[in-house]
Amino acid sequence: MATSNTAAAGVPPRTRPERWKWLGGTRGVDLIARLVTLAAALSVLVVMVWLVIELWQRSTLSRHQFGFHFLVDRFWDPVFGHFGALPFVYGTLVTAAVAMVISVPLGVGAAIFLAELAPRGLSDALTFLVELLAAVPSVVFGLVGIFVVIPWVRTSFGPFLKTVFGFIPLFQGPVYGGGLLTAGLVLAIMVLPFIVSISREILLSVPVELREGALALGSTHWEATWKVVMPTARTGILGSIFLALARALGETMAVTMVIGGTPQISASLFAPGYSIAAVIADQFTEATGDLYLQSLVELGLVLLGITVVLHAVARVLVRATTEKARGAA
Amino acid sequence: MNRLTWRRTVNAVMSVVTALCALAAVTPLLFVLGFLTVKGASSINWAFLTQLPKPTGEVGGGMANAIAGSGQLLLLAALFGVPLGVLGGIYLSEFGGWAVPLLVRYAADLLVSVPSIVIGIFAYAVVVVRMGHFSALAGGFALGVMLLPIVVTNTEQFLRTVPVWLREGSLALGAGQWKTIVSVVIPACMQGIATGILLALARVAGETAPLLFTALNNSYWARGWQQPVASLPVMIYEYALSPYEDYHRQAWAAALILLALVLLVNVLSRLVLARRMASRRAA
């Protein structure tokens, strides 16, 4: 598989010979087909651009009224028509951070096991299950979060953290159950499959020769993995982490259901908070007045910006690694 | 302990640690399945599947309208997303030059990464604001927007797996390009494209956020496409947050049904795809 850089390495070969361009133009049917399918393909582009324009226009009022101050203002007060996004930005970042702290080591560890150390059959079976986890709808995670994770955090996990790490401000204050920590936990489970399956693919794309070389020189499996394969795959794994982060930031339902729904900034992870996506989901239908609604749309715009940039960076990283691995083969 | 023993110990320890990580990555699925089955299975009965929701606080009733509503929304989404997506995918794989496919692929990548709640705002702005009220159409449009980029990407990938000599054979026999695509290329990868569409539908079937302020919800049967419509995910969300024990029970049941359908489609289509890949490798 890794011995040549031709079709075998998983690149779909370019299947369209150049001379088709001539044939395409010679027949009326072909020309029509070409135009119709072109229009369909362009619809994706149109929808994406339209989406950005629509969000931009529908937040004009809020953008003009608050400017960039919107992002650093910590008061969200619909009654007095004052809208600041900081509590939501804070909640989004903190929950995503908690999720990443838990899911990155677990996910990369699992990917290493599945790609490098496990027997093929076991690896395939476990990967299948992990990918099924990715298919579970967000609202189902939310449901389990409300009725299983929240009580668990309130009665056992929260008090446990408090007794062990209680000297750190992050783990002080009353434990309600719903809050930033719980949202982070649920998010961690939700983004785990992305890290595992993409990192595994990245690791599998590293040429076998590198491993064989390391093993032939007398290193153990772990040393071959850690000192030879991992450095090659590092950029791509970072890409998978960015993808997971983008997911965690934009995730809506599960977070809305367990985060507690309070626009505040609190040092404690036990405290209830709010995320950008959650506040839109909660308040959009009950928003009264243009400014309120437009502020929510602007929040959507902010969220869109963050996730799209992260996603683009992640794609570049993943692609760079797989192509480098292919080139090295 | 000498150096070699140390290295072997590290090797063994790390093997166990990473194996535990893999185990931890799989357990949540088992937990979720377990909880849903224990809490939901007992509440699924004939009444749940065929009756309308009872007024708030009353025990009993079902989610028949939400099940039908989900079907209605998926149908609308498919009507919008599938034809456009398949045709777009055909262009990218069969006609595309250099610049258009690059741009479209990039746009599809971005559109897939847009958070679902933002898609909801978009559909609200485009359909709900213009029509003046919430409707099944708006919800279907939101889901269709999510479906479109997935179908385009899938279709293009499957078309690209068809070997070039099949096309050349058809062209050599005098068929035009469109004729070749319709009667040779697409039949050769029909199964793959169809499976990809099913997977995409299963993915949007569980979406809640884009429906919250487009399709809204409805305690009755939706009359026509212009009315707000209930759907399983939104029902689960609202029932889970309600203070009534009986609603919680029904939320679990609805979640079990939704998850069972989604996982069933996923398992079956992955099996089909795996067999396809295996037969290609053998060929």
B25 part of a folded domain: no
User: Which residue do the tokens 């609308």 mark?
Assistant: B76
State the residue for tokens 């279709």.
B155
Q: In terms of residue numbers, what domain contains B202? A: 47-282
Is B209 at the interface with chain A, CB within 8 A? yes
Q: Which of A248, A230, A246, A243 is nearest to A316 (CA)?
A: A243
CA dist., res. A223 & res. A102, Å (int): 24
Would B63 be classed as within a structural domain? yes
**CB of A313 within 8 Å of any CB in chain B?**
no
Q: Which residues of A touch B39 (CB under 8 A)?
A: 147
B33, part of any domain: no
Q: Residue B192: give its domain's CATH number.
A: 1.10.3720.10
Element (H, E) at A76: strand A76-77
pLDDT at residue A8 in the model: 46
Share of chain A above pLDDT 70, in %: 90
8 Å CB contact of B25 and A250:
no
The shortest CB-CB distance from A222 to any of B10, B22, B116 is to: B10
Q: How does DSSP assign A272-283, residue by residue?
A: -B--HHHHHHHH
Contact B168 A13 (CB under 8 A): no
Chain B CB within 8 Å of residue A35 CB: no
Report d(CA B163, CA A15) in Å as an integer. 7
Residue B12 lies inside a defined structural domain of this protein: no
The residue type at B196: G
In a domain, B167, yes or no: yes
Q: Tell me the CA distances in angstroms from B263 to A146, A296, B26, B28, B268, one per residue in order.
A: 22, 34, 15, 15, 8
Task: Report how far residue B56's alpha carbon sits from residue B247's, in angstroms, rounded to the nearest whole number.
Answer: 9
Q: State which residues of chain B have pLDDT below 50.
A: none
User: Taking CA atoms, what residue in B is nearest to A118?
Assistant: B19
- The full 3-state SS of B165-230, as one line of letters, equals HHHHHHHHCCCCHHHHHHHHHHHHHHHHHHHHHHHHHHHHHCCCHHHCCCCCCCCCCCCCCCCCCC
Of B18, B259, B266, the CB nearest to A113: B18
Question: Nearest CA of chain B to the CA of A265: how many Å?
Answer: 23
Determine the distance in angstroms separating the CA of B12 from the nearest CA of chain A, rounded to an integer.
8
Q: Under DSSP, is residue A145 helix (H, G, I), strand (E, B) or coil?
A: helix
Residue numbers of A between 233 and 272 with CB closer than 8 Å to B: 246, 249-253, 257
Task: Tell me how many domains chain B contains.
Answer: 1
- Whether residues B266 and A33 touch (CB distance < 8 A) is answered with no
The 3-state DSSP class for residue A189 equals: helix
pLDDT score recorded for residue A3? 42
Q: What pLDDT is attached to residue A325? A: 66
| Six token digits for residue B187 | 């039949």
Q: Which residues of A touch B107 (CB under 8 A)?
A: 44-45, 47-49
Handedness of CA B168, B170, B171, B174 (dihedral sign): positive
Q: B-contacting residues of A 110-139, CB under 8 Å?
A: 110, 112-114, 117-118, 126, 128-133, 135-139
**Closest to B117 (Cβ–Cβ): which among A20, A36, A280?**
A280
What pLDDT shows up at residue A319?
82
Helix axes B116-123, A290-328, angle to 10 degrees: 130
Answer whether residue A22 shows pLDDT above 80: no
Q: Is the pLDDT of residue A21 over 60?
A: no
Scanning every residue of chain B, which has its alpha carbon at the shortest distance from the alpha carbon of A106? B21
Answer whether residue A329 shows pLDDT above 70: no
Residue B154 CA to residue B196 CA, distance in Å, equals 6
Looking at the DSSP bridge assignments, the partners of residue B53 are B61
* Within a domain: B218: yes
> Chain A neighbours among B 99-128 (CB < 8 Å)?
100-101, 103-104, 107-111, 113-122, 124-126
Long-range contacts of B19-23 (CB under 8 A, 24+ apart): B19/A113, B19/A117, B19/A118, B20/A109, B21/A105, B21/A106, B21/A107, B21/A108, B21/A109, B21/A110, B21/A112, B21/A113, B22/A109, B22/A110, B22/A113, B22/A114, B22/A118, B22/A126, B22/A196
Q: What is the rounded distance in angstroms from the CA atom of residue B112 to the CA atom of residue B81?
A: 13
pLDDT in tens, B86-131: 999 999 999 988 889 999 999 999 999 999 999 999 999 999 999 9
Query: What is residue A326's predicted lDDT score, i.e. its pLDDT?
Result: 66
Cβ distance of A137 and B207 shorter than 8 Å: yes
Q: Is A81 left (phi over 0), alpha (psi -120 to 50) or beta?
A: left
Q: Does B168 touch chain A (CB under 8 A)?
A: yes
Q: Which residues of chain B make contact with A50, given a CB cutoff of 8 A?
A: 122, 126
Residue range A236-249, pLDDT digits in tens? 999 999 999 999 99
Q: Any idea what DSSP says for residue A287? A: -
Task: Report d(CA A103, CA B195) in Å as an integer.
Answer: 30
pTM of the model: 0.90
Report yes or no: B221 at the A interface, CB cutoff 8 Å: no
Quote the CA–CA distance of A199 and B198 in Å, as a whole number: 26
Residue B254 lies in a domain: yes
Mean pLDDT of A96-112: 96
Cα B3 → chain centroid: 52
**Which residues are paired to A260 by β-bridges?**
A273
- HSE of B104 in the Cβ direction (CA atoms, 13 Å)? 30
Cβ of residue A47 closer than 8 Å to a chain B Cβ: yes
B233, A139: Cβ pair inside 8 Å?
Answer: yes
Q: Is the dihedral of CA A13, A14, A16, A22 positive or negative?
A: negative
> How many CB contacts within 8 angstroms connect chain A with chain B?
307
| pLDDT tens-digit readout, A290-315 | 899 999 999 999 999 999 889 888 88
Whether B37 is in a domain gets the answer: no
Residue B242 touches partner A, C-beta closer than 8 Å: no
Which of A97, A138, A127 has its CA nearest to residue A241? A97
Binding-face residues of B in 49-78 toward A, CB within 8 A? none
Residue B145 tokens, joined:
């927007």
